[in-house]
Amino acid sequence: MRNISRGGILIIAAFSLVTIHSCEKISDKTNPDVFFEIGRGIEFRFNDIELYDSSTHILYFRQEHDVFTEYLGDSFTFLDKGDTLYTGTFCPAYLSYIPRGPIILTPGMYGNHALRIEIWMGDKPDPRNSQGIIELLQEHDLLHSGLSGSVDFVSINGTELSFGFTITNHDVTDLLIIDMNKTGPELFHYFTNGLSMRDPDHNEVFTSNIVHKKPEPWNSWKAEWLSVLKSGDSASFTINYAIDKSIDPGDYKLLFEFPGLAYQVSKNQLFQGKGRIWLGDITLREKITIP
């Protein structure tokens, strides 16, 4: 058996650590197939991505990546054949300031298989759904349009405020959504802050007063909370809130967050039959008039 020098052993050992993998260290020249890059060291190609939900700006990956559950202090970049589409930064999950531009909170709220790109403050237009990135996602059959919401009515009857809204599935996939008629309003409001209203001077005139009910255990979910919303279909809901003082007639700004699940859902639970559990949330903002 031929003897191998110490230097040779080190070279072989170093070489054995290098593997051809979809998530890998990159060279100075970006591979034209790379779509998403973290810092200057981790890259993902199109075939590493399962889908992108444009309603929540969540990027789903085909495989689990434990690095998503760690603190990342890097930047991230979306690329098209080596050209930058847009960049952003990873930020701590608990911030004492409002960051500008696209961010990903770290550790993330979506386990080790999905990342959500958020913008808390930034210039328009929003780069996350720009024409260039949407066309690129369509080209690779990765674009999913998710949900939208619309306000149906706000009415006041004595000491009760009724809020009606409709959720529509624009996705090509059937989606499983949290159904308030199944959870009841208390559990539903564990996942959302509910309705709030402000007057034209930005004074708060109403905020949800439903006491939420925590799941047991807190990080769990149950199939009976969810309903299937088929592709192209809509579902309407009404929430009744108690009010302890009258709301004057006039114009108001309404804010409501329709919630989905997040960290509760693991990679192998995401798809239930032919449907996908919708993760994230969408915010309804609208100007309304109380007669």
- Whether residues 178 and 58 share a domain: the answer is no
Nearest-angstrom CA–CA distance, 283 and 258: 6
Rounded to the nearest 5 percent, the helix, strand and coil shares of the chain are 15, 40, 45
The whole-model pTM stands at: 0.86
Residue 15 falls within a domain, yes or no?
A: no
- Whether residues 72 and 151 share a domain: the answer is no
- Whether residues 216 and 264 share a domain: the answer is yes
User: Closest Cα to residue 85, out of 52, 56, 121, 120?
Assistant: 52
- Whether residues 135 and 160 share a domain: the answer is no
Does position 36 have pLDDT exceeding 90, yes or no?
Answer: yes
Nearest-angstrom CA–CA distance, 44 and 59: 11
Looking at the structure of the chain, the number of domains it has is 2
Three-state secondary structure call for residue 186: helix
- Whether residues 159 and 68 share a domain: the answer is no
Provide the percentage of residues in the chain whose pLDDT is more than 70: 90
Residue 5 falls within a domain, yes or no?
A: no
Residue 196 falls within a domain, yes or no?
A: yes
Residue 10 falls within a domain, yes or no?
A: no
Nearest-angstrom CA–CA distance, 162 and 254: 13
Going by C-beta distance under 8 Å and a sequence separation of 6 or more, which residues neighbour residue 153? 162, 163, 164
DSSP tag of 261: B
- Return the pLDDT at 22: 40
Listed residues 143, 166, 186: the one ending a domain = 143
| Residue that has been written with the tokens 């789903």 in this structure | 60
DSSP 42-90: EEEEGGGEEEEETTTTEEEESS--GGGGS----EEEEEETTEEEEEEEE
- Return the pLDDT at 92: 87
Listed residues 81, 108, 143: the one ending a domain = 143
pLDDT band for position 88 (cuts 50, 70, 90) = very high
- Whether residues 177 and 267 share a domain: the answer is yes
CATH number at residue 201: 2.60.40.2360
Residue 7 falls within a domain, yes or no?
A: no
Residue 176 falls within a domain, yes or no?
A: yes
- Whether residues 210 and 97 share a domain: the answer is no
Q: Is 7 left (phi over 0), alpha (psi -120 to 50) or beta?
A: alpha
pLDDT digits (tens, 9 = 90+) for 259-285: 999 999 999 999 999 999 999 999 999
Domain that holds residue 108: 21-143
State the amino acid at position 267 in one-letter form.
K
- Return the pLDDT at 74: 87
Nearest-angstrom CA–CA distance, 164 and 204: 20
- Whether residues 283 and 153 share a domain: the answer is yes
